[in-house]
Amino acid sequence: MIKLKLLAALKQYAPSLDEEGCFTVEYRPDITIADALGQTNISEANMRYTVLVNNVRKKPGDVLEDGDTVTVMALLAGG
């Protein structure tokens, strides 16, 4: 099982959330971050975001392990 946590404005793109604000994706060998995010509606978000796996920044093509926690947060700009 893989936990996905979409933060702040990205939460609305999660199909459902548990009490911790996460939802789960079934683990399968060779599942990538992009595959897991494909089970959300995040592609509809008109914003850039960064992805952390177990608190380490990763790329969409990186392979996930069973038990990983994927955190997705919007990139903010300001000045």
Mean pLDDT (whole number) for 15-44 = 89
CATH superfamily of 2-74: Beta-grasp domain (3.10.20.30)
Q: Which helix (H) or strand (E) holds 32?
A: none
Higher-confidence residue of 42 and 56: namely 56
Higher-confidence residue of 41 and 78: namely 41
Quickly count: other Cβ atoms within 10 Å of residue 75's Cβ: 8
Q: Which ranges constitute the DSSP H helices of the chain?
A: 33-37
Provide, rounded to the nearest whole percent, the portion of the chain with pLDDT above 70: 96
Kindly report the pTM of this predicted structure: 0.87
C-alpha torsion 49→22→14→71, nearest 10: 10
Question: What pLDDT was estimated at residue 52?
Answer: 97
